[in-house]
Each structure stands twice: as C-alpha cells, then as structure tokens.
DNA sequence: ATTACATGAATGAATAGTCATTCATAAAAT
DNA sequence: ATTTTATGAATGACTATTCATTCATGTAAT
C-alpha cells in the first residue's frame, strides 16, 4: 500500500504534536506542584505517560521545557485577552476586562499562575536568555490601555504607563498568588476584581464628590 | 581556671553571634545572586570564610539557612519601618513613609529583595513550615494604616484592608523586582514612589476637581 | 498476499556528575 | 587535660541526560 499523501503526514504530525503538548501540560502541572528545581524529569514523563528519554526528542533540556511552558501558556493568555478586548474603546472598560480576565485565568489555571511566578523570579537569574517576549507583550497591553486613556483624557496624564503596568501587574499577581496558595480567607473573584479596580481607578482616598458612576 | 560568670557567656555568645551572622549575610548574598536551589553550601561557606561543616554547627540544613535569612532580614525592616512611622498620625503620610521606606530598603539591599521573592514564591511550596511571622507582620502594617485611615474617614470605607495590603505589597514588590533586575529604563526612587502613591491614593482617573493637595 | 527489509519514534537502564551532609581529626579555649 | 569549636575530605543519595535496543509501521519484492 503506497501512502505518502498529505493526510498521512498530517496524522504523523498530529501524533507528534500531541506528544509535544502532552509533555507541556504534564510539565505545567508538575512544575506548579513541585517547583522547577524540585520537579524531576521522570515526574513529568510519568505524568505525560511517556518514557523519560522521549522528552528529549521534543525538548533540549529541562529548562527548555520550562521556557516552552511559559511562552506557550502566556501566549494563550495574550490571545485570549486581545480577543476579549476586541474593539472595546472605553479605556475604563478595557482595564476592567483585563483585570477580570487575568484573575479568571489564574484561578482557572493555578498551575500556570505558579509557573509564571517561578519563571519570572527564579530562572532568569540562572539562564540569561531573554526571550520573554510573550510576557512583555502581555503587560504591554496594560501600558497601552493606559496610554489610550490618557489620549482620551480620562486617565491622568502624569501617570507613566511603564511604571503603571508594573504596579498593576504586581498587584494582580500577588493577589492571585495568595489566592492560589490559599493563605487568606477567600474572597470571591468579583470582590477582588472590584477592589483592585476601584483602588486603581479612583484610589483609596475618600472623594468629596463620591457618587455612583 | 574556673570561669562561668556572665561576662564569659557574653563573650561566647558574641563570638557565636558573629559567626552566625557572618553566615547569614554571606547566605543572603549568595542566595540573591544564584537563587536558593542553585546556591551551593560551599559557596556560602566560602563567602563567609568558614568551613562547609561549620555551617552545620549553626543551622540544621540548607533550608533552615534560607528561613533564618528571611525572618531575620524582614525583622530588621519591620523594626526600621515601625521606628520611622513613630507616632505619625496622618494615614496618608504613613503610607508615604511605608512606601519610600520599602523602596529604599529594597534598593539598598538588592540581595534581600531577591531573597524575599524566592522565599515567598518558591520554597514554601516544598516545605510547609509557616513561621513566616515577620513577613505577615510586615504587610500587616499596611493593613493597619488603611484601617486607621478608614477610622479617621480619609480612606474609603469599602476598601478591604486584607485585600489592599496584598495589592499594595504586590505592586511595590514587582516594581522593585524589575528595578533590581534592571529590565527597564531607570526611574528614580522618587519618581516611582510618587507614581505608586498617587496611583493608590487618588487613582488613575482624571478627577474633575484636580487641585494640588 | 505474503514475506523480508527499512525506518525512526519510543523506551528505560546505565552513566556521569553534582552536592548536601557527616564525621574523624585538629585547633582553641578554659 | 578536657571540653568546645572548627575543619574539609569523604560519603552517599539523587537525577539530568544519553544511547543501545525494541517495535510498530511503512515499503519493496516476489
């Protein structure tokens, strides 16, 4: 039986693709649970139902797995966020969307939340390979929202978007870290989202002209 | 020679204390530079000018060193912060003091900044020993400032101090992380401090009644 | 249709190296 | 002289990575 027409190649590619992503998601799980350094390759292999050696057919080394996990998962979030933002034009609503989307994503995918934390603060100390492009893209969205709001005149012009994006991301990140580690009484996603948004939009100072919306 | 009157014990304690703290500060340096998992005990020993084995006369194991570093250094910051707050009564000024004090401390002691990051997000995943008392004390200060402001009526009453403290700490922490990793154009401490404070106090929305102080 | 050969993905045991920790010994102190 | 403190080489446990081998699947020959 002769058979090398595209369909077979596709099937082949599918299998490979599946194995690749099986490993990715196994790794996400394992890294999140044990942390990068404590995770063993054999744990990942077991979780992915694959032989230890197989992993090295798809990745160069342990760190390469982490980086792939990170880029891939953050990439997904970026796509999702951009889709949700769609052609929303109101910078206030945009920030609202970003906030809830981020918190929801982190709540739904605790593993990812932790991988981000690890990758961000641990590993680039060891390996200086700054292709954190997806992440920069992701927080860049915040900066853009703020810039837009400044153009429309609804956001204060003295706010520096580059600082604000870090401030905002840091806040969201810590809030979801604590949440995932369940170190604190549980608030609902809505409560947290509201709090963060109102703190940033209107600040914590009592305004003399405090009237609803 | 019989000699066990207090002074000798003091001398003894001094010496031990010296070696103990020599190791602590060596460890702070090494952990910050390499991260907990990549740091070698022998690195710490070398940095402290002490034999590898000596370390085990003062600490139970590697993790115990990290925890001690963390508790001890955070403890220092708590003390410093409380001293600076003194009997300041204005919640707005208090937040200002906390903010600049935190950023200054992190700038001055980059090592500590990183150790906090590591300990906070990496290790308590592995070892569930929650004697992070000092840290909770530290962010508790933020919560208290906010509560106080709510009592005086200058801070909005709908803000939840427990969420706000995380939001605020997260923001400060991320800002100093980026700063220390020098991933971004350098802003001055004053600029950052101003930005964070104004974002939190007054929010980013343009206020119709925007008048200085 | 059946058999023989080829391919390369997958396997997992073996390798090779790394370190945290220990401990026999030495130095200091009393 | 005895006890306390310090040393650093040796130990032993642990794991990322490799690689010789297997095996399922595809191809060619008859």
Report which secondary-structure segment, H or E, holds B192: helix B189-202
Choose the closest CB to B170 out of A175, A201, A207: A175
Helix (DSSP H) and strand (DSSP E) numbers for chain B? 9, 0
Q: Give the per-residue pLDDT at B17.
A: 60
Q: Which nucleotide is nearest to B39 (CA to C1')?
A: C19
Q: What is the mean pLDDT of residues A55-76?
A: 88
Q: Give the per-residue pLDDT at A116.
A: 81
Q: Give the per-residue pLDDT at B13.
A: 47
Q: Which residue has the tokens 């992070």?
A: B132
- Contacting residues 44-83/B vs strand C (CB within 7 A): 52-53, 56, 61-62
Name the average pLDDT for chain A: 82
The span from the CA of B13 to the CA of B1, in Å, is 19
Per-residue confidence band for A131, with pLDDT thresholds at 50, 70 and 90: low
Q: Give the per-residue pLDDT at B122.
A: 65
Nearest CA in chain B to A136: B183
Q: Which nucleotide is nearest to B3 (CA to C1')?
A: C30
3-state secondary structure of B95: helix
Rounded CA Rg of chain B: 21
The span from the CA of A125 to the CA of A79, in Å, is 28
3-state secondary structure of B147: helix
**Å separating the CA of residue A1 from the C1' of nucleotide D29:** 13
Q: Give the per-residue pLDDT at A185.
A: 67
Report which secondary-structure segment, H or E, holds A75: helix A62-85
CA dihedral B130, B131, B132, B134 (to 10 degrees): 160
The span from the CA of A88 to the CA of B161, in Å, is 32
Q: What is the mean pLDDT of residues A102-123?
A: 81
Q: Give the per-residue pLDDT at A1.
A: 36
- Where do the DSSP E strands lie in A53-175? none
One digit per residue, the tens of pLDDT, for chain B of length 213 reads 333 444 444 444 444 568 899 999 999 999 888 888 889 999 999 999 999 999 999 999 998 898 888 888 899 999 999 999 999 999 999 999 999 999 999 988 887 887 787 777 765 554 445 556 788 899 999 999 999 999 999 999 999 999 999 999 999 999 998 887 766 667 999 999 999 999 999 877 777 655 444
Q: Does residue B93 approach strand C to less than 7 Å at its CB? A: no
Question: Best interface-test mutation with B: which of A166, A179, A181, A212 has the largest number of B CBs within 10 A?
Answer: A166
Q: From chain A, pick out residues whose CB is under 8 angstroms from the CB of B198.
A: 156, 158-159
Choose the closest CB to B203 out of A37, A114, A200: A200
Choose the closest CB to B121 out of A117, A125, A192: A117
Lowest mean pLDDT segment, chosen from A48-52, A77-81, A168-172, B108-112: B108-112
Do A165 and A122 meet the contact criterion of CB atoms below 8 Å apart? Answer: no
State whether A170 and B174 contact (CB < 8 Å): yes
Question: Best interface-test mutation with A: which of B112, B163, B193 has the largest number of A CBs within 10 A?
Answer: B163
Q: Give the per-residue pLDDT at B166.
A: 95
Q: What is the mean pLDDT of residues A65-86?
A: 91
Q: From chain B, pick out residues whose CB is under 8 angstroms from the CB of A128.
A: none
**Å separating the CA of residue B61 from the C1' of nucleotide C26:** 24
Closest among A141, A165, A29, A41 to A83, alpha carbons compared? A141
Q: Give the per-residue pLDDT at A141.
A: 97
Q: Give the per-residue pLDDT at A198.
A: 93
Angle between helices A161-180 and A91-108 (to 10 degrees): 30
Per-residue pLDDT reduced to its tens digit, A37-56: 888 999 999 999 999 989 99
The span from the CA of B57 to the CA of B16, in Å, is 10
């Amino acid at each position: 039986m002769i058979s090398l027409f595209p369909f077979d190649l596709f099937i082949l590619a599918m299998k490979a693709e599946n194995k690749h992503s099986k490993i990715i998601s196994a790794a996400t799980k394992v890294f999140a649970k044990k942390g990068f350094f404590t995770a063993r390759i054999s744990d990942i292999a077991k979780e992915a139902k694959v032989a230890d050696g197989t992993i090295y057919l798809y990745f160069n080394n342990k760190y390469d797995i982490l980086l792939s996990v990170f880029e891939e998962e953050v990439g997904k979030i970026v796509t999702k966020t951009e889709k949700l933002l769609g052609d929303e034009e109101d910078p206030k609503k945009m920030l609202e969307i970003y906030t809830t989307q981020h918190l929801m994503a982190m709540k739904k995918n605790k593993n990812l939340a932790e991988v981000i934390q690890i990758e961000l603060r641990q590993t680039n100390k060891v390996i200086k390979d700054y292709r954190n492009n997806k992440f920069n893209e992701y927080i860049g969205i915040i900066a853009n929202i703020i810039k837009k709001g400044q153009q429309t005149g609804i956001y204060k012009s003295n706010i520096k978007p580059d600082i604000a994006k870090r401030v905002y991301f840091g806040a969201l990140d810590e809030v979801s870290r604590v949440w995932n580690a369940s170190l604190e009484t549980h608030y609902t996603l809505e409560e947290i989202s509201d709090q963060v948004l109102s703190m940033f939009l209107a600040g914590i100072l009592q305004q003399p002209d405090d009237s609803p919306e």
